[in-house]
Amino acid sequence: MDISQKIHLLGDLLGKVISEIEAPDLFEKEEHIRSLARERRNGDEQAARNLQQSISTLSIKDARVLAASFAAYFDLVNLVEEDHRVQILRQRESEVFPESNNESIGEAFAILKEQGVTPGQIKTLMENLSIELVLTAHPTEARRRTILSKTERIASLLAELSQNENYPRERQATIHALRAVISALWLTDRVRAEKLTVADEVRTGMYYVDSFFWNTLPVLYRDLEDALEKYYPSVSPPRRWLKLASWIGGDRDGNPFVKSHITAETLRLHRGLVVENLRRELHELGRQLSVSSSRITPPPALLAWIEKRRPFPEHVSYIEQRYSNEPYRLVLSLLVNDLAEASKDSMTRHLLGEHTHQSRLSVNDLLEPLRIIASAMPKSLLNDELQAVIHKVEIFGLHAAHLDIREDSSRFNAALSEILRALNIESDFENLPDEERATLLSRLLNNPAPNLSKHPGVTSDTAETWALFQLIGRTKEIYGSDLLGPIVISMTHAAADVLTVLLLAKWAGAKQLPPIAPLFESVQDLKDAPKILEQLFTSGYYRKHLESLGNTQMVMIGYSDSNKDGGYVMANWSLYQAQEEITKIAAKHKIKLTIFHGRGGTIARGGGPANNAIRAQPTGSINGRFRVTEQGEIIASRYANPGLAHRHLEQIASAVILASAPHKEEPIPAKWRQTIETISNAGFRAYRSLVYETPGFIQFWEAATPLDEIKRLQIGSRPASRAKAGAVNQIRAIPWVFSWMQSRFNLPSWYSLGTGLAAIHDVALLQEMYDGWLFFQTLLNNSEISLLKADMDISALYVSLVPDKKLGSEIFNSIRSEYEQTRDLVLKVSRHTSLLELEATTQQAVQLRNPYVDPLNYIQVETLQRLRALPDPDGEEAKPLREIMALTINGIAAGLRNTG
Active site (annotated) includes residue 805 = no
Q: What span, in angstroms and rounded, lies between the C-alpha atoms of 13 and 179?
A: 6
The predicted pLDDT at position 900 comes to 45
The string of pLDDT tens digits covering residues 217-253 is 999 999 999 999 999 999 999 989 999 999 999 999 9
Residue 402 pairs in a beta bridge with 245
Helical H segments across 666-799, by residue range: 670-691, 697-703, 707-712, 733-742, 753-758, 763-772, 774-789, 792-799
598 three-class SS? strand
> How far from chain centre, in Å, is Cα 598?
8
Task: Give the three-state DSSP class for 135.
Answer: strand
Domain ranges in the chain?
Answer: 670-838
Other C-beta atoms lying within 10 Å of the C-beta of residue 517:
23
Closest CA to 826 of 747, 744, 758, 762: 758
More confident of the two residues 724 and 592: 592
Residue 517 pLDDT? 98
Cis peptide before 98 (omega within 30 of 0): yes
pLDDT at 227: 97
Q: How confident is the model at residue 431 (pLDDT cuts 50, 70, 90)?
A: very high
CB-based contacts of 715: which residues, under 8 Å, 6+ apart?
139, 140, 141, 142, 192, 196
Q: With contact defined as beta carbons under 8 Å apart, do 393 and 278 qualify? A: yes
Spatial distance between the Cα atoms of 744 and 677, rounded to a whole number of angstroms: 29
Q: In this predicted model, which residue has the larger pLDDT, 814 or 141?
A: 814
Asked whether the predicted pLDDT for residue 776 surpasses 60, the reply is yes
- From 579, 528, 537, select the one nearest 555 (Cα to Cα): 579
DSSP string computed for 206-244: HHHIIIIITTTHHHHHHHHHHHHHHH-TTSPPPSS-EEE
Cα separation, 356 vs 270, in Å, equals 19
Between residues 522 and 840, the one the model is more confident about: 522
Local confidence band at 452 (pLDDT 50, 70, 90 cut-offs): confident
Q: What is d(CA 409, CA 504) in angstroms, rounded to the nearest whole number? A: 12
Within a 10 A sphere around the Cβ of 57, how many other Cβ atoms? 10
Q: 529-587, pLDDT tens digit by residue?
A: 999 999 999 999 999 999 999 999 999 999 888 899 999 999 999 999 999 999 999 99
H helix and E strand count, the chain: 40, 8
Confidence grade of residue 723 (pLDDT, cut at 50, 70, 90): low
Can you tell me the mean pLDDT for 852-868? Answer: 96
Rounded to whole angstroms, the Cα distance separating 33 from 52 reads 9
DSSP code of residue 197:
P
Q: What is the largest CA-CA distance in the chain?
A: 90
- Report pLDDT for 356: 61
Work out the percent of the chain whose per-residue pLDDT is above 70. Answer: 95
- 399, 254, 889: which is closest to 633 by C-alpha? 889
Terminal alpha carbon distance of the chain: 34
Spatial CA neighbour of 139 closest among 749, 561, 567, 734:
734
pLDDT over threshold 70, residue 358: no
Q: What is the pLDDT of residue 482?
A: 87
* Mean pLDDT confidence for 851-858: 92
pLDDT of 796 higher than 90:
yes
Helix axes 559-566, 523-537, angle to 10 degrees: 130
* Catalytic entry in 84, 138, 545, 646: 138
19 vs 723, more confident: 19
* pLDDT tens string 71-83: 999 989 989 988 8
Measure the CA–CA gap between 499 and 437, rounded to whole angstroms.
9
Helix (H) or strand (E) holding 130: strand 130-136
Window from 12-26, 417-431, 721-735, 788-802 with minimum mean pLDDT: 721-735
The rounded distance, in Å, linking the Cα atoms of 436 and 439 is 5
Question: Which of the residues 84, 270, 564, 646 is marked catalytic?
Answer: 564
pLDDT at 898: 59
- 564 classed as catalytic: yes
What's the confidence (pLDDT) of residue 225? 95
Taking residues 435-458, report their average pLDDT: 85
Mean pLDDT over 134-142 rounds to 69
Mean pLDDT for all residues in the chain: 91
| Residue 223 neighbours by CB under 8 Å, 6+ apart | 104, 105, 106, 650, 653
Per residue, the 3-state secondary structure of 31-88, as one string, reads: HHHHHHHHHHHCCCHHHHHHHHHHHHCCCHHHHHHHHHHHHHHHHHHHHHHHHHHHHH
CA of 308: how far to CAs of 301, 312, 313, 323, in Å?
A: 11, 10, 13, 19
pLDDT tens digit string along 651-692?
999 999 999 998 777 899 999 999 999 999 999 999 999 999
* 639 vs 119, higher pLDDT: 119
Pick the closest to residue 535 from 505, 496, 501 (CA basis).
496
Q: What mean pLDDT is predicted for residues 477-496? A: 93
Q: How confident is the model at residue 456 (pLDDT cuts 50, 70, 90)?
A: low
pLDDT surpassing 70 at residue 714: no
d(CA 853, CA 895): 6
Question: What's the confidence (pLDDT) of residue 728?
Answer: 77
pLDDT band at residue 600, thresholds of 50, 70 and 90? confident
Provide CB contacts within 8 A for 569, sequence distance 6+.
Answer: 679, 680, 683, 684, 752, 753, 756, 779
In this prediction, residue 602 has a pLDDT band, given cuts at 50, 70 and 90, of low
Q: How many residues does the chain have?
A: 900
Please write the tens of the pLDDT for every residue from 293-346. Answer: 989 999 999 999 999 999 999 999 999 899 889 999 999 999 999 999 998 888
Contact, 526 vs 574, CB < 8 A? yes
Find all residues with CB under 8 Å of 392, minimum gap 6, and list them: 214, 217, 218, 277, 278, 281
Q: What are phi and psi of 597, to 5 degrees?
A: -95, 115
Instruction: Report percent pLDDT > 90 for the chain.
Output: 70
Cα–Cα distance, 739 to 702 (Å, whole number): 9
Q: How many CB atoms lie within 10 A of CB 257?
A: 15
> Which segment of 429-438, 775-784, 835-844 scores lowest on mean pLDDT?
835-844
92: pLDDT strictly greater than 60: yes
